[in-house]
Structure 1
């Protein structure tokens, strides 16, 4: 199955939460397999993490796959600190058969 790749650039934070939430959830709904490319994310705060968790839940409910790929150092540090998304190296974050 070919994945849709969505690249997030800049801050993944409260300052862009409304914009990013809509963009990510729309992509999750439309793509049976979505890869979020986080290589250009300069900052990830808890609002951004909440959006990622919401996207994972939305993918699970739909039986879709969600992968976090190419996580930047900022993303890796935040996710490691919070101990969420151990699969952020590219493994599927959610898929229900």
Structure 2
């Protein structure tokens, strides 16, 4: 996840890499981590975007794609769900 979070990752690809079938991998991951693989992946992507929002002036849309999201509205919704504020508010509040 850490080395490939920027690109589109399929559940089948991850399960095959681990050497499990898709269903077994999902059950194993949820049991071990307490959340789904994609929830964990999105949280990691949002954490990476937070660092970019704090430390750069890169436009939010570019950050969205750089961390592996495929569309800005989905990125904004996911970011707000995880962080409780929009990316622009996060950037404005963290730069004070």
What's the TM-score once normalised by structure 1's chain length? Answer: 0.35
The structure with more helix, counted as a fraction of residues: 2
What's the TM-score once normalised by structure 2's chain length? Answer: 0.35
User: Which structure carries more relative contact order (alpha carbon 8 Å, separation 6+)?
Assistant: 1
Q: Which structure has the larger Rg?
A: 2
